[in-house]
Chains A and B, each alone.
Chain A
Amino acid sequence: MEIHEKLDILSGAARYDASCASSGCGREGSAIRVGNTSQGGICHSWSDDGRCISLLKLLLSNDCRYDCAYCVNRSSNPVPRASFTAREVVDLTMDFYRRNYIEGLFLSSAVMQGPDQTMEEMVRVVEMLRIEEKFGGYIHLKVIPGSSPELVRRAGLAADRISVNIELPSSESLHRLAPQKRKESILEPMKLIGTEIGTSLVERTLSRKAPKFAPAGQSTQMIIGASPETDLQILRLSQGLYRRMNLKRVYYSAFVPVNEDNRLPVLASPPLLREHRLYQADWLLRFYGFSAEEILSDAAPDLDESFDPKTAWALRHPEFFPVEVNRADYATLLRVPGIGVASAKRIIAARRFSLITPEGMKKIGVVMKRAKYFITCSGRPFEKPDREPSRLRQRLLLGDGSEPVQPRQLVLFA
């Protein structure tokens, strides 16, 4: 099979993986290496679906033994099958990197003969890049559930980021839709990776020569909307992964119906708005000091479609507002709709020089159309205090206080 044909099949099959980050790791270029990595990550292009392209995203093979209901590559699907040789992936990566198309490689794979054989071949690609080609760019490697600890260790020593996909938000759903994958075979490598990252960090404080293990950390991905879990269950799971497994990122991937299967829900289109709200809530968990239980409750276990989760929280907690921007501390400012991490920091910095006026709030970059209902500036409110929640909801919706009804990034089939 020609390389062009393989590329078509194996990048087409990799596109459902959401992760594309190239951040979290700064490695200087050196005289003998090709390439470096940038702490903040770099996007190189944006594809027709508007998602960023940072890494050459490929499957090593789509020839899968498993038959997961949601997956385009499941063994019972009559799709064309292909596998790259290690050399082909290495050459493509280097050719693309030299032209500045990419930050590096994202390599995943279908399970070929078995987890260990597949993982072994994937690790070989990465080791070839690092050792033979002296490639210093970014590498994200998927770990195949069920592969041996030794291979996971080799993967972590060669790649910048490694990840095991959790696939579905509960073990019942995993059992139903991906019967050949077991919860333990996913969680065990996750734990191992977490431990190894921790050990490597400690060793590196003792000796700078100690090897780095997955310096850009560990991430995972789950499919949203293929199984019946509520948003609360999903956020609790993410919260647990961040707190206990020390993950860098959890990716949410709106279920794209690519197969007909009576175990799957029938959807007119992928649940993109739900995916978007989950990412917003995920940000609240990681950067805004919220817990899953604050964002959602058993009584209302799903995210509001009309408001972002922070505005929804603010509407449920009128007692918290208004917040005085000239006195409130950082954590309190972060809870105001329309004030993000950057503007909260800027407010704190600007307060050292003078009191902040309403004009100043705009200069700082606060989204006033949302924030104005929740703040005072030196005691003066922006809007007539109106704390009746239902009326405030109405005004936020009508007064352009929330996002547009058809959020821009969610236009379907345009």
Chain B
Amino acid sequence: MKRYLYDGTPEGLVSAIAGILDAEKDPQLATLVERQDTLFEEGLFLRTDPAAADSLFSRLRQCAPDAVHTLWYFMMSEAEELETSLLHYVALALEHGDRINGHLTHPDVKAIVSVARKAGRELHRMKGLLRFEQLRDGTYLARMEPDHNVIQPLAKHFSRRLRAQQWFIYDVRRHSAAHWDGSALQFGTLEQFSRPELSDEEREVQVMWKAFFRTIAIPERRNPRLQKSNMPAKYWKYLTEKQGE
């Protein structure tokens, strides 16, 4: 059982997996963990090699495009301590192709696929729950604190949907931001952030939306538990309709 270490970055992870697949006859016997920088840590440290990561991606894209998808979603989850499972999953994907996602009785496949599925679910959820607010200068701002790092695919979704307006999406937890200027999408980080003033029109529209939200519920069918299970309270912080209730 050979033990490998990497630097803890997403690129480092993929490049380490590429390295192990190259070196090991049976990667199922190897383990991979993040380096802790303690003295005498056991294992072979693999330096990040972007070219190796790229070539692994393109190999995988050729023989298992669905697995590349799974890998993307897995990365969004920022899951810890699943590196070895991921290594085994990628090795199996190269061997079996896309069929591998059906091998749910395999513990490593199951672990990776369920983490990826959870990330995918939250991405889908945020497509609905994100709320844009119009600022004084006419641009729109949406704030969020998702569990998974979904800002890239989320911003892409809105760059197709809300392309006629300028907007920002800000991930409060990760201090990352996406900006659409009407023609191109940019990503960056913001260490300091305070929400600018809302426009007068925004206040009016918010009042209307809250009124709609209130009246569309059938009083005889009131069911707060069902509401909460469909829309967990952790998302309410930035939901316009849940403010001032």
Residues on A close to B: CB < 8 A? 3-4, 7-8, 11-12, 14-16, 28-29, 31, 34-36, 38, 40, 42-54, 56-57, 92, 95-96, 98-101, 254, 256, 269-270, 272, 346, 348-350, 352-354, 356-357, 359-360, 363-364, 408-414
The CB with the most chain A CB atoms within 10 A, among B134, B142, B162, B239, is that of B162
B105 touches A45 (CB 8 A): no
Cα A411 to Cα B164 with chains together (Å): 43
B102 touches A352 (CB 8 A): yes
A98 touches B128 (CB 8 A): no
Q: Mark B190-223, 1 if CB is under 8 A from A, else 0.
A: 0000000000000001011101111111111111
- In the bound complex, residues from chain A placing their C-beta under 8 Å from that of B164 are 34
- In the bound complex, residues from chain A placing their C-beta under 8 Å from that of B218 are 15-16, 49, 51, 256
- In the bound complex, residues from chain B placing their C-beta under 8 Å from that of A414 are 222-225
A47 touches B209 (CB 8 A): no
- In the bound complex, residues from chain B placing their C-beta under 8 Å from that of A357 are 105
Cα A98 to Cα B110 with chains together (Å): 39
A305 to chain B, nearest CB (A): 18
Cα A272 to Cα B226 with chains together (Å): 14
Cα A98 to Cα B140 with chains together (Å): 9
B220 touches A411 (CB 8 A): no
With A49-B218, A100-B132, A414-B225 already in contact, the answer to whether A36 and B211 are too (CB < 8 A) is: no
B225 touches A98 (CB 8 A): no
B222 touches A29 (CB 8 A): no
The CB with the most chain A CB atoms within 10 A, among B104, B224, B225, is that of B104
B124 touches A352 (CB 8 A): no
Q: Contacting A56 at CB < 8 Å: which of B96, B130, B134, B212?
A: B212
Q: Contacting A354 at CB < 8 Å: which of B105, B127, B226?
A: B105
Cα A348 to Cα B99 with chains together (Å): 11
- In the bound complex, residues from chain B placing their C-beta under 8 Å from that of A356 are 105
Cα A92 to Cα B110 with chains together (Å): 45
A11 touches B212 (CB 8 A): yes
- In the bound complex, residues from chain A placing their C-beta under 8 Å from that of B230 are 43, 46, 50, 52
A35 touches B161 (CB 8 A): yes
The CB with the most chain B CB atoms within 10 A, among A45, A350, A412, is that of A45
B160 touches A409 (CB 8 A): no
| Other contacts beyond A3-B208, A99-B133, A353-B99: 14, CB < 8 A | A4-B208, A29-B161, A40-B124, A43-B128, A48-B222, A50-B221, A50-B225, A52-B230, A348-B102, A349-B99, A353-B96, A353-B102, A411-B225, A413-B222
Residue of B nearest to A272 (CB): B221
Tally of A-B Cβ pairs under 8 angstroms: 175
- In the bound complex, residues from chain A placing their C-beta under 8 Å from that of B226 are 46, 49-50, 408-409, 411
Cα A31 to Cα B182 with chains together (Å): 10
With A96-B209, A100-B142, A352-B102 already in contact, the answer to whether A45 and B221 are too (CB < 8 A) is: no
A99 touches B105 (CB 8 A): no
Q: Chain B: how many interface residues by the 8 Å CB criterion?
A: 54
B229 within 8 A of A: yes
With A35-B161, A43-B128 already in contact, the answer to whether A363 and B216 are too (CB < 8 A) is: no
Cα A8 to Cα B214 with chains together (Å): 9
Cα A101 to Cα B208 with chains together (Å): 11
B46 to chain A, nearest CB (A): 29
Residue of A nearest to B163 (CB): A29
The CB with the most chain B CB atoms within 10 A, among A4, A12, A38, is that of A12
A363 touches B227 (CB 8 A): no
With A29-B160, A96-B205, A98-B165 already in contact, the answer to whether A8 and B211 are too (CB < 8 A) is: yes
A350 touches B102 (CB 8 A): yes
A48 touches B227 (CB 8 A): yes
Query: Can you list 9 contacts pairing A with B, beta carbon distance less than 8 Å?
Result: A42-B124, A48-B224, A49-B223, A51-B218, A51-B221, A96-B208, A101-B240, A270-B220, A353-B99
Cα A340 to Cα B209 with chains together (Å): 37
A11 touches B215 (CB 8 A): yes
Q: Mark B93-119, 1 if CB is under 8 A from A, else 0.
A: 000100101111110001000000000
Cα A354 to Cα B209 with chains together (Å): 53
Residue of A nearest to B235 (CB): A45
B174 within 8 A of A: no
Cα A330 to Cα B214 with chains together (Å): 44
A53 touches B213 (CB 8 A): yes
- In the bound complex, residues from chain A placing their C-beta under 8 Å from that of B99 are 349, 352-353
Residue of B nearest to A5 (CB): B211
A100 touches B162 (CB 8 A): yes
B231 within 8 A of A: yes
B129 within 8 A of A: yes
Q: Contacting A47 at CB < 8 Å: which of B140, B207, B227?
A: B227
B155 to chain A, nearest CB (A): 12
Cα A4 to Cα B205 with chains together (Å): 10
B105 touches A35 (CB 8 A): no
Cα A52 to Cα B223 with chains together (Å): 12
B241 within 8 A of A: yes
B24 to chain A, nearest CB (A): 22
Q: Contacting A99 at CB < 8 Å: which of B103, B124, B128, B134?
A: B134
B61 within 8 A of A: no
A8 to chain B, nearest CB (A): 6
- In the bound complex, residues from chain A placing their C-beta under 8 Å from that of B106 are 353
B207 touches A35 (CB 8 A): no
B103 touches A353 (CB 8 A): yes
